[in-house]
Amino acid sequence: MNKSSINSKELQRLLIFYSVARIFVISVLVAIVSIFPLYKQLKRNEESNLQSALRTRTLAVEEFISRAKGIAAQIASRTQARLELEAYNRSLNNRASNVSKITRYLNDALNQSEDVVGIARFDRDNQLILQLGLPIPQKFWDFSTQNSQNAQISNPISLNNQSYIIVSQAIFNSNQQLQGKDLVLFKTDNLEKIITDYTELGQTGEIFLGTFENQQVKLFLSSRNETKTLSEPIIKALEKTVVLQESGLTFIKPKFWSHGQIIAFEPLSKVNWGLVINIDRQELYASVNRQLITIAILIVILSFLGAGGMVLLLRPLAGQVIIQTDELEQQLQEKTRTLQELNYAQEQLLLEVKERKQAENSLRKSEAKLREQKQELQQTLKELQQTQAQMIQSEKMSSLGEMLAGVAHEINNPVNFIHGNIAYAKDYIQDLLNLIQLYENYYPHPHQEIEAEIEAIELNFLQEDLKKIIKSMEVGTNRIREIVKSLRIFSRCDETEIKKVDLHEGIESTLMILQSHLKTKSQSEYSEIQIIKEYGQLPLIDCYPGQLNQVFMNILSNAIYAIKDAQDSHKIELNSGYIRIKTQKILDNSVQISITDNGGGISEEVLSRLFDPFFTTKPVGKGTGLGLSISYQIIVEKHQGNLECHSQKEKYTEFMITIPINLNYSREEGTGNREQRCDPTSVKDARERALL
């Protein structure tokens, strides 16, 4: 029991000690963190005060210069003296009288200002007229610019161990004509007072006034530096003010034998001079350091007071904490036993969770396997649908190819007989008509029975109409021959290998076959679909001609169906339907065929399934859903091209076919294609020539 009491007291003392120490350390750290930005701000304030002191002296120097210029301007503008100067310039005689009067006027001006110690006046030829007061040496006469209306100030000069400045002021008459100039000599006592004013500069502050002349810094006045020897930083500061017209501060790092320095510099606006202040950093920041020391002492005192208060506050609280700690130890032991029981239960629960996760993983694997099987079945179904479509189309195209070839052959032979004999019949009939005409010329009055027969058969009408009959027979046979030619070109049953063809010829043959569908009867009225051809200059291209013709047939047939359907549903007016066919060469090795119709467009839902096998929007019995699917295979797979459809509902539909000019097939594939012929039993050939 006694040992426990001792431990409790030691714990109480340790608790109080560490709490107080923690609070003291935290207070000191917070104070340091707070003082650091305050220290930087105080330093900036001192630097700003230094710049303000420099600015005050700059304004005082500029005021001195402005005052000197003003006095020189007043002297030059004295009317009586100016008039006498004009008279002096006009006349070469009686100049002594003019000089006497000018001397009297300028003496009054010289006596009115304490700063003016000498005046020299020159005529318009820059010749000296007179000098009053302290004479100005001749070497300083020509420092100013001739004809300048503004007063000009020279750099300080030394006469009789005394510093002076010269102000040059040009004199003009009322017509602004130059009459002469004044050189006014000013004392620099007031300027020296400004430079030697040490207010706010302490013991180490120095002020320098100088300029940059002949690539060297020239020092005019210095507050403390009697030898006028300048350090390199001060020379650079004066150079910045005079040459670059800059102002600011320069910080010189301290060396082990000297303190660092701060140099403030600023140019003068009214003259090409610069003003520089140099001061030790230690003296500039002395007040800041004193403030920081005072603040640090206050923080330490307050920290100790706070620590003492915390001791008084924590002593009773620590006793209560120790009592509660003993109770908590007992509760902790009970909680520990309870926690061990919970850990055992948790281990059992984790085992059960692990078993369930294993079962869940097995279930997921089974589901993944089922999904893979489902995807394989869907892929197999899709392949079966494509195979079914190909077989159906193969049978259809096999029969259609034989039929087209047979029809073309059976029609072509008799038509050729008729077409070939029409030319002879035309010549024979023309000979008979010429014979009748010759007979009429020699026997204008034939027998009455012959005249009666001529009137009965209407010989004149017969002669004219017979020519028209022969012409119409010729046109009809030509039309039949063109249709037969179109059937042969379209079927291309003997051209299943790759060859160079004219695309326009295939399009024209397809339009010839569909000619009867372009003029149809719709709702007791006849409507006509307009074909707009915009053919470009296309080269011969490598392709399967029969397959491309089938693609043209599929797309054009769908366009005609869409226009008829739109006319029946009054979406477009009669005779307003059109199909635009545009061909052009794009890039270097591709051509593009665009087929556009205004048959009402296609919805987004239908557009997404447009090239799926067995998908059709036509009524049952009017469409198999295979045309566009097989067309897509012909363009993309067989011709290495692209087939796209762009449509806007209720407006238009556009099919864009892009195929290369030269097909890059391997030798083996090309050989296989050359060996193929129009075999009705070939499923592959029939699929590739799918038409409707």
Q: What is the pLDDT of residues 132-165, one digit of tens each?
A: 888 888 888 877 655 567 788 888 888 888 888 8
pLDDT of 423: 81
Lowest mean pLDDT among 67-76, 165-174, 311-320, 502-511: 311-320
Confidence of residue 676 (pLDDT cuts 50, 70, 90): very low
User: In this structure, what are the phi and psi dihedrals at residue 681, rounded to the nearest 5 degrees?
Assistant: -85, -5
Structure tokens at 76: 């030059």
Q: Tell me which H or E stretch contains 672.
A: helix 667-675
Question: Two tokens at 649?
Answer: 């509902």
Q: How many CB atoms lie within 10 A of CB 151?
A: 23
Sign of the dihedral through C-alpha 414, 417, 419, 425: negative
Candidates 669, 661, 666; CA nearest to 641 is 661
pLDDT at res. 452: 86
Residue 65 parent element (H or E): helix 2-76
Tell me: the pLDDT tens digits for 611-636?
777 777 776 556 666 778 888 888 98
Lowest mean pLDDT among 14-28, 477-491, 496-510, 643-657: 477-491
CA distances from 329 to 314, 324, 432, 543 (A): 22, 9, 144, 95
pLDDT of residue 319: 60
Asked if residue 493 lies in contact with residue 546, where contact means CB atoms within 8 angstroms, the answer is: yes
Looking at residue 64, its pLDDT comes to 86
Mean pLDDT of the chain: 78
Residue 392 has a pLDDT of: 66
Other beta carbons less than 10 A from residue 613's beta carbon: 21
Q: What phi and psi, each to the nearest 5 degrees, are found at residue 578?
A: -145, 155
Look at residue 537 in the predicted model and tell me its pLDDT. 92
Residue type, 161: N
Q: Residue 196 has what pLDDT?
A: 78
2: number of Cβ within 10 Å: 6
Burial class (CB in 10 A: 0-12, 13-18, 19+), 636: middle
Residue 583 has pLDDT above 70, yes or no: yes
Read off the pLDDT band of 682 (50, 70, 90): very low
175-223 pLDDT, tens digit per residue, is 888 888 888 988 888 888 887 777 777 777 788 888 877 766 677 666 6
* Contact in structure between 498 and 544 (CB atoms under 8 Å): yes
- pLDDT value of residue 199: 73
pLDDT value at position 457? 85
Residue 488 has pLDDT above 80, yes or no: no
For the record, the structure tokens of 676 come out as 């193929």
- SS percent in the chain: helix, strand, coil, step 5: 60, 20, 25
> How far apart are the C-alpha atoms of 362 and 370, rounded to whole Å?
12
Confidence label for 102 from pLDDT (cuts 50, 70 and 90) = confident
Residue 167, strand partner residues: 153, 184
Helices first, then strands: H and E counts in the chain: 16, 20
Q: Could you give the 3-state DSSP secondary structure of residue 531?
A: strand
User: How far, in Å, CA of 464 to CA of 460, rounded?
Assistant: 7
Query: How distant is the alpha carbon of residue 160 from its chain centre?
Result: 73
Q: Encode burial over 585-596: b for 16+ CB neighbours within 10 A, e otherwise.
A: eeeeebbbbbbb
Domain ranges in the chain are: 496-688
Take residue 191 and report the two structure tokens written for it.
Answer: 């300027």
Between 563 and 527, residue with greater pLDDT:
563
Tokens standing for 416?
Answer: 């050729």
| Percentage of the chain lying above the pLDDT 90 cut | 7
pLDDT band for position 683 (cuts 50, 70, 90): very low
Average the pLDDT over 224-246 and give the result: 74
In the prediction, which pLDDT does 272 show? 82
What's residue 395's pLDDT? 63
- 106 pLDDT higher than 60: yes
Write the pLDDT tens digit of every residue in 434-485.
Answer: 888 888 888 888 888 888 888 888 888 888 888 878 877 877 777 777 777 6
Burial status of residue 351 (CB atoms within 10 A of its CB: 0-12, 13-18, 19 or more): exposed
Cα gap 36→253, rounded to integer Å: 20
- Report the distance separating Cα 634 and Cα 548, nearest Å: 8
Per-residue pLDDT tens for 346-391?
A: 888 888 888 888 888 888 888 888 888 888 888 888 777 767 766 6
Helical residues (DSSP H) of 240-285, grouped into ranges: 281-284
Reported as half-sphere exposure (CB side, CA atoms, 13 A), residue 467 has a value of 10
> Which of 12-26, 228-242, 395-409, 480-494 is the most confident on average?
228-242
CB within 8 Å of 152: residues ≥ 6 apart: 143, 144, 145, 167, 168
The pLDDT score that the predictor gives to residue 145 is 59
Q: Does 657 score more than 90 pLDDT?
A: yes
For the chain, the C-alpha Rg in angstroms (whole number) is 59
Domain 496-688 CATH class label = alpha beta
Mean pLDDT to the nearest integer, 7-11: 64
Query: Does residue 689 register a pLDDT over 70?
Result: no
**What is the DSSP annotation of 350-368?**
HHHHHHHHHHHHHHHHHHH
- Whole-number pLDDT of residue 6: 45
N-terminal to C-terminal alpha carbon distance within the chain: 109
- DSSP-assigned letters across all residues of 110-155: HHH-SSEEEEEEEETTS-EEEEEESPPPGGGTT-SPTT-SS-EEPP
Higher pLDDT, 588 or 658: 658
- Say what the pLDDT of residue 686 is: 32
- Per residue in 297-347, pLDDT (tens digit) is 887 787 777 767 766 666 666 666 666 676 777 788 888 888 888 888 888
Q: Which of 95-104, 234-243, 659-668 is least confident? A: 659-668
